[in-house]
Amino acid sequence: MNYIFIFLILISFICAIINGTMAEVVDAILKSSQKAVEIALSLIGIMAFWLGMVNIAKKSGLMDFFSNIIKKPLLKIFPDLKENNEAISNIALNISANALGLMNAATPFGIKAMENMQEKNQNKEHATNSMCTFLAINTAGFQIVPAVVIAILSANGMENPSQIIIPTLIVTTIAFISALFFSKILERMFK
Amino acid sequence: MINFLNSLSVYILPFIIAIILIHALYKKTPAYEEFTIGAKEGFNIAIKIIPYLIAIMVCTAVLRASGAIEMAQNLLSPILNFFKIPIETTIIMLTRSLSGSATLGVLADIINQTGVNSYATKLAAVITGSSETTFYVASVYFGAIGIKKFRHALLAGILADIVGLIAAVWVCSVFFL
């Protein structure tokens, strides 16, 4: 991560010198740091709401019930979460919310799942295998209906925007499976 | 079909909320108190991810502003022509993993440039719908719990993005060309 950070910024400066776009780059630094804070703050409301709901489900025992149903298949993907029921059910909720295109609901479940995994983590700054697998499948962005994209296409007057659903589903499934595959292969190389 | 799925997705969240509340009522869980206890965490998480989010978003914004993406686009154009990939869609391929809001902007651009029923638009739409902003997701999820060593997580995500792009080009050429 350190190298990616340094490399991306330095390469941008070099390109900015070549292209004469240094003024835009300086402007981008100011604007994007502002934007980052705005995004984080705008998450507070929906995050608090879902974490509140999750806490009710946790205390009433609904989470345990849900995790027992979903546990078996998920444990194949996340073998080190055998003793971590809460993480399993939050992962399941995150994946289902993502699949349904409910991004706002998916993020709090995902963060909660990460926290559950972090509780059992020995080295708090070092990601575990399950964390990496979970992150990789989240970045693959599996979803059944790409609602936002379809909204944009139909707003611009495409005759039949639902024609992209099947191709998108095929592609996102391939990306999801390869994210799983790569994280399993690579976890042995990165200790 | 699409209308059915859209209206279905409107009912999913209320359905989940209702199930949670009815179960709490049945188990006599103090729902209001537990809700407020859980909701408190929302603030901490949002504050905790700010530094990570700034680092990632400044990186990607600077990269885009510097014109590096356009330079890469020029380098790649011979390869793209060979695979019949419209030149307009290169930007979306290069920015998809970096920035979500930029991707939607680029998609709108492509629609403006090539028309909403063009092959470029369809390919760009499939790419946008089938992937997620890898760098953003990584900074939010790992930032929230303070992970600093990402190990292979980003690499696996980016490799999967690349496989996804290749798949998108292939699937779209089968469906739409």
Give the tens place of pLDDT for each residue, B85-108: 998 888 888 888 887 777 888 888
Q: Is A102 helix (H, G, I), strand (E, B) or coil?
A: coil
Note which residues in 20-79 of chain B have CB less than 8 A from chain A.
20-21, 23-24, 26-27, 29-31, 34-43, 45-47, 49-50, 53-68, 70-71
Identify whether residues A103 and A162 lie together within a single domain: yes
**Is B1 an interface residue toward A (CB < 8 Å)?**
yes
Mutate to test the interface with A, among B17, B58, B123, B158 (most CBs of A within 10 A): B58
> Within this chain, do residues A50 and A67 fall inside the same structural domain, yes or no?
no
Judge whether B18 is closer than 8 Å to chain A, CB to CB. Answer: no
The pLDDT score that the predictor gives to residue A14 is: 93
Same domain membership, residue A66 and residue A55: no
User: Could A33 and B54 be called an inter-chain contact, meaning their C-beta atoms sit closer than 8 Å?
Assistant: yes
Q: What is the pLDDT of residues A136-148, one digit of tens each?
A: 999 888 877 787 7
Give ipTM to 2 decimals.
Answer: 0.84
Which residue of chain A comes nearest to B116, CA vs CA? A158
Cα gap B52→B49, rounded to integer Å: 5
Mean pLDDT of chain B: 86
Do residues A80 and A153 share a domain? yes
**Number of structural domains, chain A?**
2
> What is the spatial distance between Cα B109 and Cα B125, in angstroms, rounded to a whole number?
12
A74 shares a domain with A153: yes
A81 and A22 within one domain: no
Q: Residue B172 is encoded by which pair of tokens?
A: 């779209």
Express each pLDDT in A59-73 by its tens digit: 888 878 877 787 788
What's the domain range around A5?
A: 1-60
Assess whether A163 and A187 both reside in one domain: yes
Residues sharing a CB contact under 8 Å with residue A73, sequence separation 6 or more, in sequence order:
none
- Residue A96 burial by CB count (10 A; 0-12/13-18/19+): exposed, middle or buried? middle
Minimal CA–CA distance to B173: which of B116, B107, B126? B126
Distance CA B172, CA B177 (A): 7
